[in-house]
Structure 1
Amino acid sequence: MHDIEATAADIIDAALKLHMGLGPGLLESVYETILAAKLVERGHSVVQQCPIDIEYDGLVFQAAFRADIIVNGQVLVEVKSIERLNPVHGKQVLTYLRLLKQPLGLLINFGGATLKEGLRRIVNNYEPLAPSRLRVNQ
């Protein structure tokens, strides 16, 4: 099993290189497809458009949502290409993390001038090593 922090760092590195190479403003699907391929090239296991079920009190709603990318079965990546992230985007990732019982998500917005302004780490019952300024839900 891959180290979760090393996986997250590799995802961020690949995303930075992708943003520098293509620049901002393309469709999300372009960034998602290329990022997934680059992560596979780096030796990661990648699932795109992973279905997410909702289960509650005996009710099951299959494929209610889809996660853009899940890397090594442990880091969820939600790709955006918009002018500015909103709080609802962080809630979207946290919802996916809770439903999948995953510890760490990366919300990556390729729409801004720099990737740094569009990068958020979202955690779900996980004590990350990341600086608190990058966390959405402390």
Structure 2
Amino acid sequence: MNEEQIAKAIVNAAYRVHIELGPGLLESAYETCLIYELENAGLQVKSQLKLPVIYRGIKLNCNYRIDILVEQKVIVEIKAVSFLNEIHLAQTITYLKLADCKLGLLINSNVAKIKDGIKRVINGHL
């Protein structure tokens, strides 16, 4: 699967989770349910994946973690906040750069309609 196909599967899974749960829960609940949906769809999923920072050739363990990595290609960052702001976008862009991925989805589940909470994020450095 390419990044676009994976992203479509992720959006569909996020929609199913949001229809079932609605807004108002903690991020961890949405993450767990999204992982369940993605794995049931036959996708390879890694969660809470440690992401080291390489600085001047030195590997630093700064405790950064990707919420979900799907098929080793698409990063999913889950939020459950009143609104997404620039720092959430910056975090996702940084994770894309550090993981050398092209596409990320920033998903805020604390919205009335999930389509309003999904942002596509592209790594401009690839």
With the length of structure 2 as denominator, give the TM-score of the two structures.
Answer: 0.95
User: What are the within-5 Å matches in structure 2 for residues 1-138 of structure 1?
Assistant: 2-62=1-61, 64-125=63-124
8 Å contact kept, 1:54–1:64: no
Given that residues 78 and 109 in structure 2 are in contact (C-alpha distance below 8 angstroms), is that contact kept between their aligned partners in structure 1?
A: yes
Aligned pair count?
126
Amino acid at match of 2:119: R
Q: Secondary structure at the match of 2:107?
A: strand
How far has the Cα of 1:117 moved from its partner?
Answer: 1.5
Residues 68-98 of structure 1 show CA distances to partners (whole Å, capped at 9, x for unaligned) of: 0000000000000111110110000000000
CA contact (8 A) 1:104 1:126 kept: no
User: TM-score, normalized by length of structure 1?
Assistant: 0.87
Shift of 1:126: 7.8
Q: Secondary structure at the match of 1:111?
A: coil
Q: Over aligned residues, Cα RMSD in angstroms?
A: 1.4
Q: Which amino acid aligns with 2:122?
A: V
Gaps of 5+ in 2: none
CA distance in 2, matches of 1:73, 1:108: 18
Indicate if the aligned counterparts of 2:97 and 2:125 stay in contact, CA closer than 8 A.
Answer: no
Give secondary structure in 2 for the equivalent of 1:48. strand
- Counterpart residue type for residue 77 of structure 1: V
Query: Percent identity, aligned pairs only?
Result: 40
The 8 Å contact of residues 108 and 118 in structure 2, kept in 1 or not, is answered as yes
